[in-house]
Amino acid sequence: MAGNQQQQALAILRRTESYPNTETENETIRVLLRMPRVRNTVDLQMRSSFRVETAREREAALAYSRGVEKQIPCGRCGSGEAATFTKCIVVTLVDGTQLWGGKCTNCFVESAETCSFEGSAARHT
């Protein structure tokens, strides 16, 4: 990703984190913003088409910065097929439910039909 495009994407993400518009952001983004950040947004490895402009991209980037890295990645991440983020990250919400049914951030943002973690609650951590 070109440096300027990555800087623009990170600026959008930081604005979302710093000044969330609670009237326009969806519930998932509002929930993620209440969770502590465990990895810095500057650590995001993003492909050129990832701009953090859509709600889906903002959800994925926020989840990536707040979720747990899987020690054994899902099938797509492990094979190198997933290309948005460098790590396979999943999010468990405060109530114990898995965000996006257990899909990792890569599979979610890339609209993968399935993720090998989907529906697998706490396995493969």
Residue type, 60: A
User: Per residue in 50-102, pLDDT tens?
Assistant: 667 788 888 998 899 899 999 999 999 999 888 788 889 999 998 899 999 99
3-state helix, strand, coil in the chain (%, to 5): 40, 5, 55
Looking at residues 113-120, what average pLDDT do you find? 86
pLDDT score for 42: 55
Burial environment of residue 79 by CB neighbours within 10 A (0 to 12, 13 to 18, 19 or more): exposed
pTM for this prediction: 0.79
* Bridge partner residues of 92 (DSSP): 98
pLDDT score for 92: 93
Helix/strand/coil for 74: coil
Looking at residues 21-49, what average pLDDT do you find? 74
Percent residues over pLDDT 90 in the chain: 30
